[in-house]
């Protein structure tokens, strides 16, 4: 039995204190706060460094151990069906709430008076967005490139192919699987070391955000920010909560179980920083390692619920703010294009803003120059996007595991009720 730890030594408390200090410094000493940016950048880079090894080891080991390639295909189909249904619900909720609350009404913005220099880079990147470039980008030019760039889908593709190959090698494959099992232990040992620096990363990230943009920058567009956070909360509680209840667990207990990871996401504004630790926590809930390795990383591109809410809500907000009337067909066009464009979004900060620019470029009725008014608050909104994405992908992994009959429901409920403190990882 794990020895209990003092409350002030837990990662949850330390990250919470770090975030509070970051906000304090950002407000009262912006110059000092901005100077702390390297702390956040370094922590994100350290975690990102380990994402490719984590995915590769877990997916190869999981698929190679399955010995049933039809099961892998079944998991893939069920996962994509789930992703498409829930992602579309998120897009629809964004549209519905924008019509109910009208967050952009009354701003009466004139796009001609806005400075578009701040969004020029996003507009350039948006032109490269499309389903064909996205699909082709999944295939790396070399095997090494996928690991060098750390692209989640590229690493996942190589991992799946390697897992299939190892599963067909018989006795030699069994020895290779044992080797991957040992490599996985080493990789998570490194993760445990890095995660101890999470409070410093959260401090640097939050201090830089508040110090750079200031709490005052929220006032003009507070209604949009409040609407977005409210909509995301409604989605998590009602949509994901209903799915969780049907699967046999409480969404609130699940959120409490991953509270450490959510605080790290809040501090760093990136869901990538918790990908390795979330995968291990989902395994501890009783989910199959193979399913965790396939579903959770894939969700970073195909199941970005928070980003989807942001896309449709922000698009209609800009239409309302510029007094642009949209017909039903134009709103349907926004929905359809967002369903495609959102599939390329990932946990990297700023991707949601690029995708929004691509949607506005495809629906010219909304002045694309109006994007400039969102630049100052995008950092604050990216935190909510990342939080919702992590929760959504965690729920998706448990659901698919349940569908496959590979979820230990008793273990899941017991682990959620009595979670192991972060840093006291169970042996793999």
Burial of 426 (0-12, 13-18, 19+ CB in 10 A): exposed
pLDDT of residue 8: 64
- In sign, the C-alpha dihedral spanning 300, 304, 306, 310 is positive
pLDDT of residue 214: 65
pLDDT of residue 236: 96
Burial of 41 (0-12, 13-18, 19+ CB in 10 A): middle
Distance CA 15, CA 198 (A): 7
Residues 316, 101 contacting (CB under 8 angstroms): no
pLDDT of residue 380: 76
**Strand (E) or helix (H) holding 375:** helix 375-403
Distance CA 407, CA 29 (A): 49
Q: How many CA atoms lie within 13 A of 200 on its CB side?
A: 11
Query: Which two three-digit tokens encode residue 124?
Result: 């350039």
In the block, residue with structure tokens 């399955």: 66
Residues 92, 342 contacting (CB under 8 angstroms): no
In the block, residue with structure tokens 């510029």: 322
Q: What pTM value is reported for the model?
A: 0.78
How many C-beta atoms surround the C-beta of residue 7 within 10 A?
8
DSSP 262-305: HHHHHHHS-GGGGHHHHHHHHHHTTB-HHHHHHHHHHHHHH--H
Query: Along the 428 residues of the chain, how does pLDDT read in single tens digits?
Result: 445 567 667 777 888 888 888 888 888 888 888 898 888 888 888 888 888 888 888 888 878 876 666 777 888 889 889 999 999 999 999 999 999 998 888 777 776 665 555 555 555 555 555 566 767 778 888 888 888 887 777 888 898 899 889 888 888 988 988 898 899 889 888 888 888 888 888 888 888 877 876 665 555 567 888 899 999 999 999 999 999 999 999 999 999 999 989 988 888 777 888 888 898 899 899 888 888 888 888 888 788 899 899 999 999 998 898 888 888 888 888 888 888 777 655 544 556 677 787 777 777 788 877 777 776 677 778 888 889 999 999 999 999 999 988 888 888 988 888 776 544 444 34
Angle (nearest 5°) at CA 98 between 94 and 99: 120
List CB contacts of 255: < 8 A, sequence separation 6 or more: 236, 262, 391
- In sign, the C-alpha dihedral spanning 356, 358, 364, 368 is positive
Q: State the Cα torsion 148-151-157-160 to the nearest 10°.
A: 80
- Backbone φ and ψ of 407, nearest 5°: -120, 125
Residues 357, 368 contacting (CB under 8 angstroms): yes
Residues 397, 287 contacting (CB under 8 angstroms): yes
- In sign, the C-alpha dihedral spanning 331, 337, 338, 340 is positive
Burial of 243 (0-12, 13-18, 19+ CB in 10 A): buried
Query: Which two three-digit tokens encode residue 139?
Result: 């295939």
Extents of the domains making up the chain = 7-417
Distance CA 422, CA 428 (A): 15
Q: What does CATH list as the number for 7-417?
A: 1.10.3860.10
End-to-end CA distance of the chain: 16
Distance CA 50, CA 36 (A): 23
Query: Which two three-digit tokens encode residue 394?
Result: 């965690």
How far is CA 275 from its chain centroid? 8
Distance CA 373, CA 221 (A): 9
């Amino acid at each position: 039995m794990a020895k209990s730890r003092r409350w002030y030594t837990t990662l949850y408390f330390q990250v919470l204190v770090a975030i509070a200090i970051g906000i304090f410094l950002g407000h009262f000493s912006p110059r000092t706060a901005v100077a702390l940016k390297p702390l956040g950048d370094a922590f994100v880079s350290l975690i990102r460094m380990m994402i490719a090894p984590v995915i590769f080891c877990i997916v190869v080991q999981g698929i190679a151990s399955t010995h049933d390639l039809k099961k892998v295909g079944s998991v893939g189909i069920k996962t994509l069906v789930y992703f498409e249904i829930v992602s579309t619900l998120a897009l629809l909720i964004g549209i519905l709430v924008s019509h109910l609350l009208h967050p952009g009404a009354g701003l009466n913005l004139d796009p001609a008076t806005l400075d578009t220099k701040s969004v020029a880079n996003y507009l350039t990147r948006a032109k490269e967005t499309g389903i064909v470039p996205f699909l082709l980008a999944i295939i790396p030019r070399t095997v090494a490139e996928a690991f060098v760039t750390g692209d989640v889908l590229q690493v996942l593709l190589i991992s799946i192919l390697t897992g299939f190959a190892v599963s067909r090698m018989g006795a030699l494959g069994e020895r290779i699987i044992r080797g991957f099992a040992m490599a996985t232990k080493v990789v998570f040992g490194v993760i445990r070391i890095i995660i101890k620096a999470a409070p410093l990363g959260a401090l640097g990230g939050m201090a830089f955000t508040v110090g750079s943009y200031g709490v005052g920058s929220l006032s003009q567009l507070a209604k949009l920010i409040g609407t977005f956070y409210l909509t995301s909360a409604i989605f998590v509680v009602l949509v994901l909560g209903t799915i969780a209840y049907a699967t046999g667990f409480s969404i609130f207990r699940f959120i409490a179980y991953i509270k450490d990871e959510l605080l790290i996401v809040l501090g760093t504004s990136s869901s990538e920083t918790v990908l390795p630790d979330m995968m291990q926590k989902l395994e501890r809930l009783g989910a199959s390692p193979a399913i965790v390795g396939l579903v959770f990383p894939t969700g970073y591109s195909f199941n970005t619920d928070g980003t989807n809410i942001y896309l449709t809500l922000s698009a209609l907000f800009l239409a309302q703010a510029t007094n642009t009337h949209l017909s039903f067909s134009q709103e349907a066009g926004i929905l359809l294009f967002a369903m495609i464009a959102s599939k390329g979004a990932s946990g990297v900060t700023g991707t949601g803003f690029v995708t929004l620019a691509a949607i506005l470029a495809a629906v010219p009725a909304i002045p694309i120059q109006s994007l400039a008014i969102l630049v100052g608050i995008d950092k604050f909104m990216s935190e909510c996007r990342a939080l919702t994405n992590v929760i959504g992908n965690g729920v998706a992994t448990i659901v698919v595991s349940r569908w496959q009959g590979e979820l230990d429901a008793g273990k899941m409920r017991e682990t959620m009720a009595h979670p192991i403190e972060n840093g006291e990882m169970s042996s793999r």
